[in-house]
Chains A and B, each alone.
Chain A
Amino acid sequence: MMEHILVAEVDVMQRLPAATRLQISLMFAVALTTFIDMASNVQGTTGVGSATLWHWTSLGLMLGACMRAPRSGWLIGSTIGVAALSGAWQFLGAFVSPSAYLLSPPNVLWVGVISWWVWRNAPPVSDSVRPSFALLLRTLPFVLISTLFVGYSPLTAVYADTYGGGDTLVGQGVSGLLFFAVCWGSVHVWLRQQHSSTWSFALLSGCVALAQALLRGEWYLCAAFFMSTVLADIVVSRWPHTHRMVIAVWPALFCLGYFFTLRYTSLLAWNLTVWGGVVVFALGIGYALITLAATTHVLPEKGTTA
Chain B
Amino acid sequence: MIAQPSEAPASIRRVAAFFGHRALTNWVLIPCILWFLGGLYLDGWAHNHGKVDNTFFTPWHAVFYSGYVAIASMLAMVVLMSVLRGETWQIELPAAYRNAILAAPLFAFGGVADLWWHTTFGFETGIEPLLSPPHLLLAGSMFFMSLAVAGSDVRLDRWSTQIPVALSLLAAWSVVTFILQFNHPYGIVWPERGSLGQGNVVFGLLGIVLHSLFACVVGLWMLQRNFRRGVFTFVLVMNALLIALMGDEYRFGWVALGAGILSEGLDMLVQQRTLVVRQLTRAASIGLTLTALYFVVIAQTSVLYWSLSECLSAAIITVVVCMGTVLLMRTPTNASS
Chain A interface (Cβ < 8 Å from any Cβ of B): 89, 94, 96-97, 99-100, 103-105, 108-109, 112, 151-152, 157, 166-168, 170-172, 174-176, 178-179, 182, 186, 189-190, 271-274, 276-281, 284, 292, 296-298
Using Cβ atoms and an 8 Å threshold, which residues of chain B touch A175?
A: 182-183, 206-207, 210
A-contacting residues, B306-321, CB 8 Å: 307-310, 312-313, 316-317, 320
* Partner of A176 from B140, B206, B332 at Cβ < 8 Å: B206
* Partner of A273 from B133, B140, B310, B330 at Cβ < 8 Å: B133
Task: Indicate the member of A108, A171, A175, A281 with the most B CB atoms within 10 Å.
Answer: A171
Report if B30 contacts A (CB, 8 A).
no
Shortest B179–chain A CB gap in Å is 8
A273 close to B121 (CB less than 8 A): yes
A298 close to B203 (CB less than 8 A): no
Shortest A49–chain B CB gap in Å is 10
Query: Mind listing 12 A-B residue pairs with CB under 8 Å?
Result: A103-B317, A108-B313, A108-B317, A109-B316, A157-B202, A168-B203, A174-B182, A178-B210, A284-B140, A296-B329, A296-B331, A298-B329
B127 close to A103 (CB less than 8 A): no
The CA-CA distance from A142 to B120 in the complex, in Å, is: 43
The CA-CA distance from A167 to B128 in the complex, in Å, is: 9
* Partner of A281 from B131, B188, B308, B331 at Cβ < 8 Å: B131
Q: What 0/1 pattern do residues 116 to 152 of B give for CB contact below 8 A with A?
A: 0100010010111011110111001000000000000
B136 close to A167 (CB less than 8 A): no
Report if B271 contacts A (CB, 8 A).
no
The CA-CA distance from A167 to B126 in the complex, in Å, is: 6
The CA-CA distance from A189 to B328 in the complex, in Å, is: 9
A103 close to B313 (CB less than 8 A): yes
Report if B198 contacts A (CB, 8 A).
yes
Chain B at the A interface: mostly helix, strand, loop or mixed? helix
A100 close to B310 (CB less than 8 A): yes
Using Cβ atoms and an 8 Å threshold, which residues of chain A touch B133?
A: 273, 276-277, 279-280
Using Cβ atoms and an 8 Å threshold, which residues of chain B touch A151?
A: 198, 202
On whether A280 and B210 interact (CB within 8 A), knowing A99-B198, A172-B202, A174-B131, the answer reads: no
On whether A171 and B316 interact (CB within 8 A), knowing A94-B309, A273-B124, the answer reads: no
The CA-CA distance from A274 to B136 in the complex, in Å, is: 11
Report if B205 contacts A (CB, 8 A).
yes
A-contacting residues, B293-337, CB 8 Å: 307-310, 312-313, 316-317, 320, 328-333
Report if B63 contacts A (CB, 8 A).
no
Shortest B151–chain A CB gap in Å is 9
The CA-CA distance from A178 to B210 in the complex, in Å, is: 10
Q: What 0/1 pattern do residues 203 to 229 of B give for CB contact below 8 A with A?
A: 101110110000000000000000000
The CA-CA distance from A101 to B210 in the complex, in Å, is: 21
> From B196, which residue of chain A is reached at the shortest CB distance?
A168
Using Cβ atoms and an 8 Å threshold, which residues of chain A touch B121?
A: 271-273
> From B130, which residue of chain A is reached at the shortest CB distance?
A277
The CA-CA distance from A99 to B205 in the complex, in Å, is: 11
A89 close to B309 (CB less than 8 A): yes
Using Cβ atoms and an 8 Å threshold, which residues of chain B touch A277?
A: 128, 130-133, 135-136
Using Cβ atoms and an 8 Å threshold, which residues of chain A touch B140?
A: 280, 284
Shortest A285–chain B CB gap in Å is 11
